[in-house]
Amino acid sequence: IRKNFISFLFLSSGTGSNILSALQDLFWLLKSKVEKQLQIISVLQWVLTFLIMGIACTLILMYILCTDCWVIAALYLAWLIFDWNTPKKGGRRSQWVRNWAIWRYFRDYFPIRLVKTHNLLTTRNYIFGYHPHGIMGLGAFCNFSTEATGVSQKFPGIRPYLATLAGNFRMPILRDYLMSGGICPVNRDSIDYILSKNGSGNAIIIVVGGAAESLNCTPGKNSVTLKNRKGFVKLALRHGADLVPVYSFGENEVYKQVIFEEGSWGRWVQKKFQKHIGFAPCIFHGRGLFSSNTWGLLPYSKPITTVVGEPITVPKIDNPSQKEVDFYHSIYVDSLIKLFDKYKSKFGLPETEVLEVN
């Protein structure tokens, strides 16, 4: 009884409520710190996957072949040969992987948002042109290779396929990891299969500017490499797939890059890599792992907002002429510029900002 009475006095005096309030504040502070660390870990694992997973898995597999566990590596290689063409046939997506909680932490680190402007018919196929490339295409990955921003809820009945370098699918383990997210090779065989033998309701996301565009990505700059990129339009015409312009505001803000001038030795090296290997090495940096004031591989936590524009209806023409390709390409360019101009002020850009089309 005495103990209960003391407790009553303790709480009635207000001291107990103050302690409870302080404990509650401490709990939320700790929770916030834990969530921030989980966000950093989720982004770090993806950056390392992007940069070294393919090479690391290849070396590990070669090492296992030289150990007593060589049978495991041999079985995987035998299966790899059998499974070699799967990426060209739509891949092997996993809704379980696409819904991992780690992607929600990845999303919240920046944060990344997906904005829908128009409905998409499930009776049609689509080619999304994604702009700009950025250094790593973070918005493209989060929005279309995971369910973190709700792409399946916003576009019900649409299956997104993010197209990336075909060379990634020659790397053991990495290829399976990419396919689980609905990522496919950006080559004609893969795109032809998805658009002609996989029914309707498919959306292939192509980062149109590619490696060439990544060389000019820098904070504060809104430019796209598009004038001479017409292959995706020709593919759309051959399959009667509607074209959809997509612009990611903030994609260029998350990394700082050393831009080499045209004619310099640095740009010469980058173009040689781009021509012969398919990607261009960039000298870039983000923030450090433990502090945003130091340099490192982590991107800066800047918001990325991906706006999916209005689909452009495209007829099916088995052998489109250059004139027809040019016509629909010009419509696409105009639609992308209009999309940029309509939403630029809403996402932090001045009304005077102009999208540079190279």
Q: Please list the residues that pair with 307 across neighbouring strands.
A: 115, 247
Q: Which helix (H) or strand (E) holds 141?
A: helix 138-144
State the Cα–Cα distance between residues 96 and 90, nearest whole angstrom: 17
188 three-class SS: helix
pTM of the predicted model, to two decimals?
0.88
Question: How far is residue 231's CA from residue 129's CA, in Å, rounded to a whole number?
Answer: 11
CA dihedral over 88, 89, 92, 95, signed as positive or negative:
positive
Per-residue pLDDT tens listing for the chain (358 residues): 544 544 444 444 556 566 766 666 656 666 778 999 999 999 999 999 988 999 999 999 999 999 999 999 999 999 999 999 999 999 999 999 999 999 999 999 999 999 999 999 999 999 999 999 999 999 999 999 999 999 999 999 999 999 999 999 999 999 999 999 999 999 999 999 999 988 999 999 999 998 888 888 889 999 999 999 999 999 999 999 999 999 999 999 999 988 887 878 888 887 887 777 767 778 889 999 888 888 999 999 999 999 999 999 999 999 999 999 999 999 999 999 999 999 999 998 999 999 999 9
pLDDT of the residue at 26: 59
Give the domain ranges of the chain: 43-357
DSSP per-residue letters across 277-290:
TS-----EEEE-SS
- Sign of the torsion formed by the C-alpha atoms of 226, 154, 142 and 138: positive
Q: In the prediction, which pLDDT does 268 show?
A: 84
Using alpha carbons only, how large is the chain's radius of gyration in Å? 24
Burial class, 50, CB count within 10 angstroms (exposed 0-12 / middle 13-18 / buried 19+): middle
Burial of 94 (0-12, 13-18, 19+ CB in 10 A): middle
pLDDT at 28: 63
pLDDT the model gives residue 67: 94
Give the separation between CA 87 and CA 179, rounded to whole angstroms.
7
* Exposed e or buried b per residue across 325-343, where buried means at least 16 C-beta atoms within 10 angstroms of its C-beta: beebbebbbebbbebbeeb
Query: What is the pLDDT, as a whole number, of residue 29?
Result: 63
For 147, which DSSP code?
Answer: S
**Residues 208 and 224: beta-carbon distance below 8 Å:** yes
User: Quick one: which H or E segment has residue 306?
Assistant: strand 304-308
C-alpha to C-alpha distance for 310 and 155, rounded to whole angstroms:
13
Other C-beta atoms closer than 10 Å to the C-beta of 184 total: 26
Question: Is 344 in a helix, a strand, or coil?
Answer: coil
Characterise 200 by phi-psi region: left (phi > 0), alpha (psi -120 to 50), beta (else): beta
DSSP string, 189-232: HHHHHHHHHS-S-EEEEEETTHHHHHTT--TT--EE--TT--HH
| Beta strand segments in 88-212, E | 112-116, 126-131, 159-164, 183-185, 202-207
**Those residues with Cβ within 8 angstroms of residue 274's Cβ, 6 or more apart along the chain or in another chain:** 211, 212, 215, 280
